[in-house]
Amino acid sequence: MEPIIKIEHLDKWFKVKDMDVHALDDISLDIYKGEIYGIIGMSGAGKSTLVRCLNFLEKPTSGDVIIDGRNLAKLSNKELRATRKDIGMIFQHFNLLMQRNVLDNVCFPMELVGVKKKEAREKALEYLKIVGLEEKAKAYPAQLSGGQKQRVAIARVLASDPKILLCDEATSALDPQTTKSILQLLKEINQKYGITIVIITHEMTVVQEICSHVAIIDHGKLAEHGLVSDIFTAPKSKEAKKLIYQGYEHVSEMKGNRCVRIVFSENSSFEPVIGNMVLSCKAPVNILYANTTDLNGVAKGEMILQLPEDIVIGDQMIEYLKKAKLAVEVLEDYVG
């Protein structure tokens, strides 16, 4: 199956005053139809530049962006405009028309392509029903909460019947509970309509909540990419580890000690693995951190253990945990 979005050796340079800034450096990614794909990185990593290159709002300096088999660099302006109709976009600050009510905001993209007013209003009401805001049709954006504004923005995008939805920090301005509800809505839209969703974010929790795949961008380069579950369980790059382990800084005791991070499989979650290991190895461990993370609807347990100073016993414990089919990673080189 061909990817619906294919990025090949993408580079983007900007001229800032007297400096040349390399915003994207040889990025290559495949995103397949129906996926919810996360692109994550810290501020200034290049992720927003990347998403703007996906619809040629920013033209790459070199490389190719191929959408549903069409190379955007080789399209005429007319062909590019037609292709962009398949690519919807929602933003952090909603971009609603403040002088129009909710219904008219959703109608707006249909007006631009000549849909008759009656048909547009009927469709707009359907889309508002999908996002749970049918009763707010006559309200104005100033009368809505942040979450409601984002739902209107999503309904407006759906009015264009996109194949692809790009979300650029779409939940960054929202509180955690509202963020969760918007992510759930996006997941339902993905499942119901098969729309491919690309989520740009700096928050690992957003990726873990909704995405099946993720690409980690750092200083314009692709640090790591793959299944969210694989990267969460065993991150390979320094950048991935920084994002996965960002909740551990408060564990000051970890510094200078031999610590391991373990991730529980579905089977091991029901067994007293740590207790059995302590009994088997006849030595205690210190549990520094424990958490359960929701990875796209699947609960994953993780722990940070401080092992005994005795190297032999510590090695025995690591071997025990691996035989119990837990993912085990020694953290002493980069945590604390």
- State the pLDDT confidence band at 335, using cuts at 50, 70 and 90: very low
Residue predicted with more confidence, 92 or 150: 150
Residues 202, 240, 183: CA angle, nearest 5 degrees: 40
Give the ranges where 216-333 is alpha helix by DSSP (H): 228-233, 238-244, 273-281, 311-323
Per-residue pLDDT tens digits for 291-310: 888 787 777 888 889 899 89
Angle separating helix axes 102-112 and 146-158, nearest 10 degrees: 30
| Max avg pLDDT among 212-226, 236-250, 251-265 | 212-226
- State the pLDDT confidence band at 92, using cuts at 50, 70 and 90: confident
d(CA 126, CA 159): 9
Give the pLDDT mean for 105-129.
90
Domains and CATH numbers, the chain: 5-240 (3.40.50.300), 245-330 (3.30.70.260)
d(CA 227, CA 211): 9
Q: Which of 2-16, 44-58, 194-208, 322-336 has the lowest mean pLDDT?
A: 322-336
- State the pLDDT confidence band at 163, using cuts at 50, 70 and 90: very high
**Cβ atoms 231, 54 nearer than 8 A:** no
**Cβ atoms 128, 148 nearer than 8 A:** no
pLDDT score for 152: 93
Give the pLDDT mean for 123-145.
92
pLDDT score for 272: 85
Q: Which of 115-129, 200-214, 235-249 has the lowest mean pLDDT?
A: 235-249
The residues, any chain, with a CB within 8 Å of residue 311's CB and separated by 6 or more, are: none
For the entire predicted model, the pTM comes to 0.85
Indicate if the pLDDT at residue 253 is higher than 50. Answer: no
* Average pLDDT of the residues of the chain: 88
- State the pLDDT confidence band at 332, using cuts at 50, 70 and 90: low
d(CA 92, CA 164): 18
